Amino acid sequence: MQQFAKLVQVISNSTKTNEKLAALSEYFATAPGHDKTWVLALFTGRRPKRTVNTTQLKNWCIQQTGLPEWLFDESYHTVGDLGETIALLLPPPTDRKAAPLHYWMEQLLQLDKADEPTKEQFIKHAWNSLDESERFVFNKLITGGFRIGVSQKMMVNAMAKTWDIPPATLSHMIIGNWDPREATIEDLLHLHTTGADASRPYPFYLAYPLETAPEELGPPEEWQAEWKWDGIRGQIIKREGKLFVWSRGEELITEKFPEYQPLTNALPDGVVLDGEILTYANNTPLPFQTLQTRIGRKTITKKQLQEAPVAFLAYDLLEWESADIRDYPLSQRRALLESIVQQVQQPMLQLSPVITFQEWQQLAALRDEARAHVSEGVMLKKLAASYQVGRKRGDWWKWKIDPFTVDAVMLYAQKGHGRRSNLYTDYTFAVRDGDNLVPFAKAYSGLTDKEIAEVDSWIKRHSLEKFGPVRTVEPLQVFEIAFEGIAASNRHKSGIALRFPRIARWRKDKPVAEINTLDDLKKLLALHQG
């Protein structure tokens, strides 16, 4: 556990990719076998089932420290991380014990069916045998989510270095459905010779935003343009007579979308499609808000299936006749994809249409109409390019339309998490409605560190209430809020919900009297409701 705690510490403190890489590959070269497998699982989002919940952890910590609950909460709001708060609050351990990571993982998993007193006894015992940094990682193992700046790409590169396997090959080996309790890293790395798990997806190829003029990409005829959809990126796999649906987050989501089931028979075997999961009716995508009603639900009601029917807009073909065809040029993959979709003839499987254009200017004009197509802009893909791994510059670009913007005043502030600990970074904004201010959006991103420091210091001096996580601030600071979409919502006081709101800039020049009104938002809604 010490070695793992050290790894987490080095990685989370380092700002240099090379240092993180070196720490990871050294870990893979020296750690006990089962620990490596767990690290791979944990750092690629394969968190095991939670056997102890956060309320239990909090209560046991309160018992161990004798602190009042409100003081625990204040500490938590300042630290911004439950696992770390507990690690800092607990008294020093009196019964130190050295055990490897996989020991603790297995013990934790065994608690699944245990009763509460058994769990409590185990956790308190663990806390008393680990030091502060080990406790921190132990708590994170329970609460999940090591957000310490390790990307999938970095894991792949570190492992590629340790085992001397090309990154693209390796990234395909570790993707998909495997259980760290059963598989070892070595098993995974040998899968490609012994035959892979039928459900295994391919690593997604991701586009960078286009920041230059499209003219710089060269002749338009070398490029394919498509609409950029605002759904869930996914892969549909048909192998060995079975259908698997994966999200880009490497989550197997087959069960969530029963609409796709007919594809089990309709699709030929040995096929992998890349595309977008979208709510879709009458040949048109529905706004993202309708898809949101389907995300995170385990059981889907009939009503949801009717109101938010899902389709798959396919834009690429990665496997065909059981062969990996990612090396084929896009033009060839697209032709095969079109023939498959044609052959399948199922309403839930649609081709993501190609936008025809001769000149870049023409495409720019079409892009301005993206919202009318319920799209966020345009994707540009080089026709001669292969399907690559991860986010790469050069052959795929996303060219999004400019966001909507409104000017709003800050109303509430809350402290952030992670590296924004003890800083007010999470804000709620309001627009004017007659004499009232109506909160309509929360935003967390868009300010520079320097601006955050300034806003934080202002909030600390201008907050109207002191306890609990939320500060009401004097409504004086105006910000321009950018967002991608707008929809009606009965869950929000303002009656509207925004898609991906963030701060575009701090309008120190703008008086509160000149901010936008709820009417302005309603007009925007009427114009753009899908």
Q: By the criterion CB under 8 A, which residues form the site for other proteins? A: 12-15, 65, 67-68, 70-71, 74-75, 78-81, 84-85, 88-89, 136, 416-423, 449-450, 452-453, 456-457, 460, 466-467
176 class by beta-carbon count within 10 Å (0-12 exposed, 13-18 middle, 19+ buried): buried
Contact call for residues 170 and 154 (beta carbons, < 8 A): no
The residue among 335, 339, 341 whose CA lies nearest residue 312 is 341
With helix as H, strand as E and coil as C, how does 197-209 read?
CCCCCCCCEECEE
Q: Which is nearer to other proteins, 75 or 293 (CB)?
A: 75
Minimum Å gap between C-beta 74 and other proteins is 5
Joined tokens for residue 167: 């990154």
Q: Which is nearer to other proteins, 137 or 225 (CB)?
A: 137
Contact call for residues 51 and 111 (beta carbons, < 8 A): yes
Q: Which residues of 356-393 are buried (b: 16+ CB within 10 A; e: fewer)?
A: ebeebeebeebbeebbebbbbbbbbbbeebebbbeeee
3-class DSSP state of 310: strand
Minimum Å gap between C-beta 27 and other proteins is 17
Q: Which is nearer to other proteins, 33 or 68 (CB)?
A: 68
Minimum Å gap between C-beta 411 and other proteins is 21
Compute the half-sphere exposure of residue 320: CA atoms within 13 Å on the CB side of its CA. 18
Q: Calculate the CA 473 to chain-centre distance.
A: 31
Minimum Å gap between C-beta 501 and other proteins is 23
Q: Which residues of 289-319 are buried (b: 16+ CB within 10 A; e: fewer)?
A: bbbeebeeeeebeeebeeebbbbbbbbbbbb
CA separation for the pair 225, 370 (Å, rounded): 12
CA separation for the pair 230, 525 (Å, rounded): 18
Minimum Å gap between C-beta 423 and other proteins is 7
Q: Which is nearer to other proteins, 362 or 422 (CB)?
A: 422
Diameter of the chain by CA atoms? 74
Q: Which is nearer to other proteins, 67 or 383 (CB)?
A: 67
Minimum Å gap between C-beta 95 and other proteins is 19
Minimum Å gap between C-beta 291 and other proteins is 32
Q: Which is nearer to other proteins, 99 or 452 (CB)?
A: 452
Cα dihedral sign for 360, 361, 362, 368?
positive
Does an H or E element contain 527, and which? helix 518-528
The residue among 310, 284, 316, 313 whose CA lies nearest residue 297 is 310
Q: Which is nearer to other proteins, 304 or 463 (CB)?
A: 463
Minimum Å gap between C-beta 43 and other proteins is 17
Q: Which is nearer to other proteins, 17 or 361 (CB)?
A: 17
Q: Which is nearer to other proteins, 453 or 526 (CB)?
A: 453
Which residue is it, tokens 């999004």?
A: 400
Minimum Å gap between C-beta 93 and other proteins is 14
Minimum Å gap between C-beta 18 and other proteins is 13
Q: Which is nearer to other proteins, 77 or 381 (CB)?
A: 77
The residue among 108, 71, 66, 74 whose CA lies nearest residue 91 is 66
